[in-house]
Structure 1
Amino acid sequence: MKELIKMHQWQWLLLLALFQAAVFPMVTASEYDHKYNIGDPVTLWVNKVGPYNNPQETYNYYSLPFCHPGNNPTHKWGGLGEVLEGNELIDSQIEIKFGKNVDRSKICSLELNNDKVQEFKDAIENMYWSEFFMDDLPLWGFVGEIHSDKKEDQKHLLYTHKSLVVKSNKDQIIHLNLTQENPQPLIPGSTLELTYSVKWVDTNVTFPRRFDIYLDYPFFEHQIHWFSIFNSFMMVIFLAGLVFMIMMRTLRNDYAKYAREDDDLETLERDGSEESGWKLVHGDVFRTPRNLVLLSALVGTGAQLCMLVLLVIVVAIIGMLYVGRGAIVTTFIVCYALTSFISGHVSGSLYSRNDGKHWVKSMVVTASLFPFLCFGIGFALNIVAIFKRSLAAIPFGTMVVVFVIWAFISFPLALLGTVVGRNWSRASDNPCRVKSIPRPIPEKKWYLTPSVVSVMGGLLPFGSIFIEMYFVFTSFWNYKVYYVYGFMLLVFLILIIVTICVTIVGTYFLLNAENYHWQWTSFFSAASTAVYVYLYSIYYYYMKTKMSGFFQTSFYFGYTLMFCLGLGILCGAVGYLGSSMFVRRIYRNIKCD
Structure 2
Amino acid sequence: MLSTVRSFSLFVAFIFVILLEPSFASESDHKYQADDPVTLWVNKVAPYNNPQETYNYYSLPFCQPSGNPAHKWGGLGEELGGNELIDSQIDIRFRKNVDRKSICALELNAAKVNQFKDAIENAYWFEFFMDDLPAWGFVGEFHPYKSNENKHLLYSHMSLIVEFNGDQIITVNLTQDYPKPLEVGRTLDLTYSIKWVSTNITFGRRFDVYLDYHFFEHQIHWFSIFNSFMMVIFLTGLVSMMILMRTLRNDYAKYAREDDDLETLERDVNEESGWKLVHGDVFRPPRNLAVLSAVVGTGAQLAMLVLLVIILAIIGMLYIGRGAIVTTFIVCYALTSFISGYFSGGLYSRNGGKNWIKSMILTASLFPFMCFGIGFILNTIAIFYGSLAAIPFGTIVVVFIIWAFISFPLALLGTIVGRNRSGAPNNPCRVKTIPRPIPEKKWYLTPSVVSLMGGLLPFGSIFIEMYFVFTSFWNYKVYYVYGFMLLVFLILVIVTICVTIVGTYCLLNAENYHWQWTSFLSAASTAAYVFFYSIYYYYVKTKMSGFFQTSFYFGYTLMFCFGLGILCGAVGYLGSTLFVRRIYRNIKCD
| TM-score scaled by length of structure 1 | 0.97
User: 1: distance between equivalents of 2:83 and 2:561?
Assistant: 25
* CA displacement, residues 41-69 of structure 1 (integer Å, 9 cap, x when unaligned): 00000000000011100000000011210
* TM-superposed deviation, 1:15: 2.4
Corresponding residue for residue 271 of structure 2: 271
What is the deviation of 1:14? 1.8
What are the within-5 Å matches in structure 2 for residues 501-516 of structure 1?
Answer: 501-516=498-513
Q: How does 1:471-486 map to 2 (within 5 A)?
A: 471-486=468-483
Instruction: Check the 8 A contact 1:534/1:561 in 2, yes or no.
Output: yes
Whole-angstrom CA distance in 1 between matches of 2:417 and 2:3: 15
* Structure 2 match to 1:565: 562
Q: Decide whether the 8 Å contact of 1:15 with 1:405 is kept in 2.
A: no
Q: Is the 8 A contact 2:501 2:576 kept in 1?
A: yes
Q: Look up the match of 2:334.
A: 337
- Alpha-carbon separation, structure 1, partners of 2:5 and 2:581: 36
- Correspondence for 2:344: 347
8 Å contact 1:53–1:545 — kept in the other structure? yes
Change beyond 3 A, Cα 1:568–1:27: closer
1:129-165 deviations in whole A, cap 9, x for unaligned? 0000000000000000013343213320101111000
Give the structure 2 partner of residue 193 of structure 1: 189
**Does the aligned pair in 2 maintain the 1:51–1:126 contact within 8 Å?**
yes
1:221 aligns with 2:191: no
Check conservation: 1:504, 1:579, Cα contact below 8 A.
yes
Q: In structure 1, which of residues 456, 460, 467 is the aligned counterpart of residue 457 of structure 2?
A: 460
Which residue among 53, 59, 62 is the counterpart of 1:66?
Answer: 62
- Matched residue pairs, number? 586
Specify the alignment match of 2:369 in structure 1: 372
Determine if the alignment matches structure 1 residue 303 to structure 2 residue 305. Answer: no
Q: Establish whether residue 392 from structure 1 lines up as the match of residue 389 from structure 2.
A: yes
Is 1:234–2:230 an aligned residue pair?
Answer: yes
Instruction: Name the SS for the 1:153 alignment partner.
Output: helix
Q: Percent identity?
A: 78
1:462–1:532: 8 Å Cα contact kept in structure 2? yes
Whether 1:488 aligns to 2:485 is yes
What does residue 362 of structure 1 align with?
A: 359
CA distance in 1, matches of 2:454, 2:145: 57
Matched position secondary structure for 1:160: strand
Match of 2:254 among 257, 265, 272: 257
Question: In the alignment, which residue of structure 2 is the partner of 1:55?
Answer: 51
What residue in structure 1 maps to residue 75 of structure 2? 79
Is contact 2:24–2:321 with CA below 8 Å preserved after alignment? no
Per the TM alignment, residue 268 of structure 1 is displaced from its structure 2 partner at its CA by: 2.4
118, 126, 130: which one pairs with 1:130?
126
2:169 corresponds to 1:179: no
**How do 1:568-583 and structure 2 match up within 5 A?**
568-583=565-580
Deviations, residues 310-360 of structure 1 (Å, cap 9, x unaligned):
000000000000000000000000100110000000000101101110011
SS in 2 for 1:33: coil
Q: Deviations over 1:444-495 (max 9, x none)?
A: 0000000000000000000000000000000000000000000000000000
The 2-side partners of 1:156 and 1:95 are apart by: 29
| 1:164 match | 160
The corresponding residue for 2:534 is 537
**Matches of 1:142 and 1:40, distance apart in 2:** 28
What CA distance in whole angstroms lies between the structure 2 residues aligned with 1:26 and 1:324?
6
* 1:321 alignment partner, one of 299, 318, 321: 318
In the alignment, which residue of structure 1 is the partner of 2:551? 554
Q: Retained in 2: the 8 A contact 1:301–1:370?
A: yes
Residues 70, 286 of structure 1: CA spacing in aligned structure 2 closer, same or farther, 3 A cutoff?
same
Bigger mean CA deviation after superposition, 16-25 or 321-330: 16-25
2-side partners of 1:523 and 1:187: how far apart? 63
- CA positional deviation for 1:70: 2.4
**Which letter maps to 1:177?**
N
1:263 shift after superposition: 4.7
Q: How far did residue 307 of structure 1 move?
A: 0.2
Deviation per CA, 1:61-119: give whole Å up to 9, x if none: 00001121024110000000000000000000000000100121111111111011000
Q: Give distance in 1, aligned partners of 2:102 and 2:18.
A: 37
Which stretch of the first structure deviates more once superposed, 531-540 or 65-74? 65-74
Shift of the alpha carbon at 1:257?
Answer: 1.4
Q: Tell me whether 477-486 or 264-273 shows the greater mean CA deviation.
A: 264-273
Q: Which moved more, 1:14-23 or 1:178-187?
A: 14-23
**Larger displacement relative to structure 2 (376-385 or 150-159):** 150-159
- 8 Å contact kept, 1:239–1:498: yes
Residue 32 of structure 1 is matched in structure 2 by: 28
1:425 deviates by 1.2
User: CA contact under 8 A between 1:303 and 1:346: conserved in structure 2?
Assistant: yes
Could you say which residue in structure 1 is the equivalent of 2:87?
91
Distance, in Å, in 1 between the alignment partners of 2:104 and 2:225 is 53
Post-superposition offset of 1:270: 4.5
* CA–CA separation in structure 2 for the residues paired with 1:362 and 1:377: 23
Shift of 1:17: 1.4
Residue 223 of structure 1, CA deviation: 0.5
Offset of 1:9 from its aligned partner? 3.7
- Give the SS at the match of 2:149: coil
CA separation in 1, counterparts of 2:23 and 2:370? 33
CA contact (8 A) 2:23 2:321 kept: no
Cα shift at 1:424: 1.4
Structure 2 gaps, min length 5: none
- The answer (yes or no) to whether the contact 2:23–2:75 under 8 Å persists in 1 is no
- Compute the displacement of 1:566 (Å): 0.3
CA contact (8 A) 1:27 1:76 kept: no
Query: Residue type matched to 2:233 in 1?
Result: I
Which of 101, 104, 110 in structure 2 is aligned with 1:108?
104
Answer yes or no: is the 8 Å Cα contact 1:523–1:573 preserved in 2.
yes
Out of 169, 185, 205, the residue aligned to residue 209 of structure 1 is 205
Counterpart code for 1:144 = G
Report the more deviating stretch, 7-16 or 361-370.
7-16
For 1:260-284, what per-residue CA distance to the aligned partner results, in whole angstroms no more than 9, with x for missing partners?
34253762244312xxx11111111
Which TM-score applies when normalising by structure 2? 0.98
For 2:145 and 2:521, the matched residues in 1 are separated by 58
SS of alignment partner, residue 196 of structure 2: strand
Return the letter of the residue paired with 1:368.
S
Write the distance in 1 (CA, Å) between the matches of 2:266 and 2:416.
49
Q: Cα deviation per residue 1:192-218 (whole Å; 9 max; x = unaligned)?
A: 111101000000000000000000001
Could you say what the CA RMSD is over the residues aligned between the two structures, in angstroms? 1.3
| Counterparts of 2:225 and 2:271, CA distance in 1 | 43
Structure 1 stretch 10-19 or stretch 66-75: which is displaced more? 10-19
Q: CA deviation at 1:426?
A: 2.8
Instruction: Output the CA distance in 1 between the equivalents of 2:533 and 2:6.
Output: 45
Structure 1 unpaired stretches of 5+: none
Distance 1:33 1:509 in 2: 61
